[in-house]
Amino acid sequence: MLVLGIETSCDETAAAVLKDGTFLRSNVIASQDEIHSPFGGIVPELAGRSHVERIHLIIKKALKDAGAQLSDIDLIAATEGPGLVVSLLVGLNTAKALAYSLRIPVIGVNHLEGHVLAIFLQQKVAFPFLALIVSGGHTDLCRVNGFGKYQILGRTRDDAAGESFDKVAKMLGFGFPGGPVVEKKARQGNPQAQAFPRAWLEKDSLDFSFSGLKTSVRNTLHKRDNGNGSACSDEDIAAGFQEAVVDVLVQKALSACRQESLKRIVVTGGVAANGYLRDRMTETARKEGIEVFFPKPILCTDNAAMIACAGYYRSKHCQPSASDPFSLDAHPNLPF
Ligand code: KG4
Ligand code: ZN
């Protein structure tokens, strides 16, 4: 079974071809970083316009790389939400039009389900497991009992982890997206030079909060730049900030495993590409006999392979949400 995956929920235009849910025949991702970088964040109208300009070229390239024709495709899977409505509509309408003309089914995929199932492109993970989804828009802890069987245990009450990386990078003048550059700068800094707060919230809470940490970084920078604070470097601030985010992500994930008696964690989403998080999570969980799985970095950040994968499993294990191409619609706040 050949699935064409299409992902345009935010600022990546992506298409992929997946055979039998396992063999990734192509995975094409066009980033819009250059377009949004001058603004220090994503400008929805520019994202939507860029998707329109590129989507057909990206699908063509995905088919070419896979050595396939449109007529070989059995199923199209496209992200229906959550995300930016102007972005989602481009991928979804393209998928609907293609499916209609080819007389094949189209499936709407929840972007977060795509992130969780990205790991299945590399290896099978036995159910149940804990998924920590850490991206630019989400920080969720989710119990995964099977395909299509998800139970949210905790989520951020304000900023997402990736969003806090992006905002701190902007304050430090590092550019956009912030995650990779904060990680790089943090390697040259001392995480102990400046202490930043961790929001643990109520006892046993599995929710997150990163807005206080962001404010603390802003205040530290303000004091330092006015000569009233410690003389820590930008690199020290990046390291101290990253340390605080990673501490909370690791401790809350382990706490969720204890509360739910889970022995496996899948960490996914753009922030899961962070090498320091990968090392700390793996090392700390090992001490508690918990196995940790990460998709490779290219499958952590937004891609269409994960959407094709989720579409494949949805078609095998779940009731189709809509098999009529015309009934699918974009849902910017689609719940998980
Ligand atoms: O999953 P993703 O590509 O898009 C969303 O669904 O949001 O995640 C993007 C987020 C951005 O906030 C970006 O700064 C962050 O992931 N990110 C990272 C790293 N690479 C990407 N954060 C920390 N360290 C990284 N290496
Ligand atoms: Zn994402």
Domain assignments of the chain as residue spans, ordered by start: 2-116+300-327, 126-294
**Ligand 1 atom nearest residue 165's Cα:** 14
pTM score? 0.95
CB 94 within 8 A of CB 325: no
Q: Is 7 in the pocket of ligand 1 (CB under 6 A)?
A: no
Nearest ligand atom owner, CA of 267: 1
Q: Is 274 in the pocket of ligand 1 (CB under 6 A)?
A: yes
For domain 126-294, the CATH class is: alpha beta
Contacts of 257 (CB under 8 A, 6+ apart): 130, 263, 265, 285, 288, 290
Q: Whose CA is nearest to atom 19 of ligand 1?
A: 179
**Ligand 1 atom nearest residue 9's Cα:** 6
| pLDDT tens for each residue of 3-17 | 999 999 999 999 999
- Asked if omega into 44 is within 30° of 0 (cis), the reply is no
**Ligand 1 atom nearest residue 160's Cα:** 12
| pLDDT tens for each residue of 283-332 | 999 999 999 999 999 999 999 999 999 999 999 998 765 556 678 999 99
Predicted pLDDT at 37: 87
In angstroms, the Cα distances linking 141 to 251, 260, 331 are 12, 11, 21
Q: Which residue positions in the chain have pLDDT lower than 70?
A: 320-325
SS3 state at 21 = coil
Q: Is 183 in the pocket of ligand 1 (CB under 6 A)?
A: yes
196 phi and psi, to 5 degrees? Answer: -120, 150
**42, 165, 210, best to mutate for ligand 1 pocket (most atoms within 8 Å of CB):** 165
- 126-294 has the same fold as 2-116+300-327: yes
**Check whether domain 2-116+300-327 has CATH 3.30.420.40, yes or no:** yes
Measured in Å, residue 242 CA sits from the centre of ligand 2 at: 20
